[in-house]
Structure 1
Amino acid sequence: MPAPRSLGLPYPFGVPMRALLQPVYGEAHTLTMGDVPVPEPARGQVLVRVAAASVNAADVFLMRGVPRMVRPGHGLKRPARRRLGLDLAGVVAGVGPGVIRWKPGDPVFGQGLATLADCALAREHQLAPLPDAISPEHAAAVPVAGTTALRAVDVARVAPGQRVVVTGAAGGVGQFTAQLAALRGAEVIAVCSGRNIERVRSLGIEHVLDYETTSPLDTPIPYDAVIDNAGAVRIRDWRRVVAPGGSILPNSGVPGPDGGALMRVFKAQWYGLIASQRVRVFTGKVTAPALTELGVLLAAQRISPLLDTIYPLEQAPQALAAAGTHHARGKIVISISPLERHAS
């Protein structure tokens, strides 16, 4: 295999770099920091010098191995890859054979493999250009959550004038869903805890409910769509307040009144067959077109990431512990190295 082009990293391929390691399934205290070799990109892959990464609910599920539906493909008894992290922003440091979209020195953001490290691999078509005006910490908050939110508003068929409820509006997917629905002309009713109301309003969302004092089920006017990122309301109860032909999208892997993630999927599929509303489960997919669209919106300040805490890489276990509470006030970000923009 031809050797990939290298950017002259401080870590040549194969020598040690810092990385978060996951020896077993469990809570964040089982995670450790250690050294692993800088990976060499294979065909269609890009090596990225990671400036920043962020933590997603998927990282917490993979850390714990719960729900167990995440384990096939990741190791039934213990993690097969033993690394975590999906989101990244940084600079291309090398490209594998067949890569034509990127060259060393290109600032990028997107989805990678094991991104909680100094360097990470990514597929060529899961990256997009990092806008000049956007910090790597803000860009790293976007890929998985932002593209999932894009998919959510598409599946929900959000349109101008609709009344759209978004729960978990201070979380990763919720914050972007609320902003994107508002950009499409919907009247957004965002639901979050009382301590996050002003933070969500700062995103340009006018109607924000404190779920601790006000139930979104108490409405005299039916909703056109519900995008439920919290899972704290039964699907059958949402049906009472969503107009016929409207959309109900359950999107939470956390156990709730409808059961765990697998049971919620089963119930959604059942209601999708019998209900007068469109009850749909969906998955997001990180693609270059979706990332590019989000990058344009970021650069134009039409959407803005709501960040909780920025941790250094050495405190990545603490970052996973905070994410594991499922009460973060925005995206949890890991700052890894300064962004170095190199001449083409």
Structure 2
Amino acid sequence: MAFTPTTGASATAAPRPQPTNNSPEPTQATPTTMRALAQDAYGPPDVLRLVTAPVPEPGPGQVLVRVHASSVNARDWHIMRGEPRLARVLDRTVFGRQAPQVPIRGTDFAGTIQTVGEHVTGWRPGDLVFGEADAAWAEYTVASQDAITQVPASVTPQEAATLPLAGTTALTCLDAARLRSGDYILINGASGGVGTFTIQMAHARGMYVTAVCSARNAAQAKALGANKVIDYATTDFCATGERYDAVLDLVGNRSVRELRKLVRNTGALVLSGGGVPGTGHLVGPLGLLVRAQFLSRTPGPRIVIPQALPTTTQLRKLGILAGTRAAAPVVDRVFDLADGADAVRYVETEHARGKVLLTITPWDVARDLSPAANSPAGR
């Protein structure tokens, strides 16, 4: 795929949108080229360039989506950097030797269906959808019809773009824990995208939630539904003597043995960690997961490493949770596509509170994304 570097003005935040309705948009004529954020080598955020790329064509069972918004995930910067380096050998579908197999970054998206491929059923141009794709940081992306669902009427495209990867991970992890109302859960890494969704989902299910995060994020965690907050800077949550029905590790900064000791024998340790910079350039979270697989064969609480898949069923559940504000998206900052490198840099270095968004193409009717609109208290 040939790319042409693009230059031009960009903004650090999107303009404040207006009140919403979810009427289907009339589709525009499909152009032959588009703006996209791509890379031709592994490295820091500076390797990301705004380029002009050909608009992809949907294959059988696929739809072409005009992307309104996307979000930044740990997966995106892991692929951008080619880390952990062992993954370049183990997963050749994603990682090439010198650069990712797919040059354009991005996974989550929300947008309007532009065209549909052969054998697509239930979707038509103009439908507003959200889901996952391999190259979402672009004005157009191709997605499987099995990895999208409709954006609910009470959810904006910007909000919907926060849901796919982080929301699916939170939902999958909670389901894997097999908890009931009244059970106790500890969430390590409670202030990020997955953590903020998990707090709300666990609270909605009637669980007693202990959130591990920094002091600056304590108020947010409590507003989202945490019953107790532990500041990791002042308290070692592995040394409190408390035990839980489930521990969800989203960070990967503690050993499996330490975490397992926190779990009651009938409970579960759920691992979805390693999503932070500095967990090891060579092996990264892979080492933690290998040790977990080994220890899972020994007596003690269950150790679960769930695989979050963006199925239509899971995405539809997320849409309902977001639409009813049982899992309200928490948006930290909004960047323009042209500032995508800055967005990734912010997520890597500033420990984003909730999700960081990229706005890509306009959508005329979108709800206000001011802090008040995103406040859990405003739900």
TM-score with structure 1 length normalisation?
0.92
Residue identity matched to 1:9: Q
Give the Å deviation of 1:8.
4.7
Q: Distance in 2 between matches of 1:263 and 1:196?
A: 29
Q: Kindly tell me: are residues 326 and 10 of structure 1, through their superposed partners in 2, closer, same or farther at Cα, counting changes over 3 Å?
A: farther
Residue identity matched to 2:299: A
Please name the residue that 2:6 is paired with.
Answer: none
Residue identity matched to 2:157: P
* SS in structure 2 of the partner of residue 244 of structure 1: strand
Q: Kindly tell me: are residues 154 and 326 of structure 1, through their superposed partners in 2, closer, same or farther at Cα, counting changes over 3 Å?
A: farther
* SS in structure 2 of the partner of residue 68 of structure 1: coil
Deviations 1:20-42 (A, max 9, x none): 01110111011100101111111
1:132-281 to 2 correspondences below 5 Å: 132-253=153-274, 254=276, 256=279, 260-281=284-305
Please name the residue that 1:29 is paired with.
Answer: 46
Please name the residue that 1:51 is paired with.
Answer: 68
Q: Distance in 1 between matches of 2:127 and 2:62?
A: 14
Residue identity matched to 2:75: A
Q: Distance in 2 between matches of 1:266 and 1:100?
A: 41
Residue identity matched to 2:354: G
Q: Would the aligned equivalents of 2:102 and 2:134 in 1 still touch at CA under 8 Å?
A: no
Give the Å deviation of 1:340.
5.3
* SS in structure 2 of the partner of residue 174 of structure 1: helix
Deviates more, 1:121-130 or 1:237-246: 237-246
Instruction: Give structure 1 regions of 4+ aligned residues with deviation exceeding 6 angstroms.
Output: none
**Is residue 53 of structure 2 the alignment partner of residue 17 of structure 1?**
no
Q: Would the aligned equivalents of 1:108 and 1:130 in 2 still touch at CA under 8 Å?
A: yes
Q: Distance in 2 between matches of 1:69 and 1:261?
A: 10
Deviations 1:218-270 (A, max 9, x none): 4344111100001122111122221112111221224559x731110111011
Q: Would the aligned equivalents of 1:62 and 1:70 in 2 still touch at CA under 8 Å?
A: no
Give the Å deviation of 1:135.
1.4
Give the Å deviation of 1:216.
1.9
Residue identity matched to 2:81: R
Give the counterpart of 1:334 among 358, 361, 366. 358
Q: What are the ranges of 5 or more consecutive residues in structure 1 without an aligned counterpart?
A: 1-6
Q: What are the ranges of 5 or more consecutive residues in structure 2 without an aligned counterpart?
A: 1-25, 366-379
Give the counterpart of 1:61 among 72, 78, 94. 78
Q: Distance in 2 between matches of 1:45 and 1:60?
A: 26
Residue identity matched to 1:298: A
Q: Distance in 2 between matches of 1:25 and 1:221?
A: 42
Please name the residue that 2:333 is paired with.
Answer: 309
Aligned residue-pair number: 333
Q: Distance in 2 between matches of 1:127 and 1:136?
A: 13
Deviations 1:17-67 (A, max 9, x none): 110011101110111001011111111111111110001110010000001
Residue identity matched to 2:128: P
Give the Å deviation of 1:81.
1.5
**Is residue 114 of structure 2 the alignment partner of residue 93 of structure 1?**
yes
Residue identity matched to 1:23: D
Give the Å deviation of 1:209.
1.6
TM-score with structure 2 length normalisation?
0.84
Residue identity matched to 1:148: T
Q: Distance in 1 between matches of 2:341 and 2:299?
A: 43
* SS in structure 2 of the partner of residue 339 of structure 1: coil
Deviates more, 1:94-103 or 1:192-201: 192-201
Q: Would the aligned equivalents of 1:108 and 1:127 in 2 still touch at CA under 8 Å?
A: yes
Residue identity matched to 1:42: G
Q: Distance in 1 between matches of 2:343 and 2:29?
A: 26
RMSD after superposition = 1.8
Give the counterpart of 1:84 among 71, 91, 105. 105
Residue identity matched to 1:59: D
Please name the residue that 2:56 is paired with.
Answer: 39
Please name the residue that 2:374 is paired with.
Answer: none
* SS in structure 1 of the partner of residue 103 of structure 2: coil
**Is residue 122 of structure 2 the alignment partner of residue 105 of structure 1?**
no
* SS in structure 1 of the partner of residue 306 of structure 2: coil
Percentage identity across paired residues of the two chains: 39
Q: Distance in 2 between matches of 1:145 and 1:338?
A: 24
Give the counterpart of 1:285 among 309, 327, 336. 309
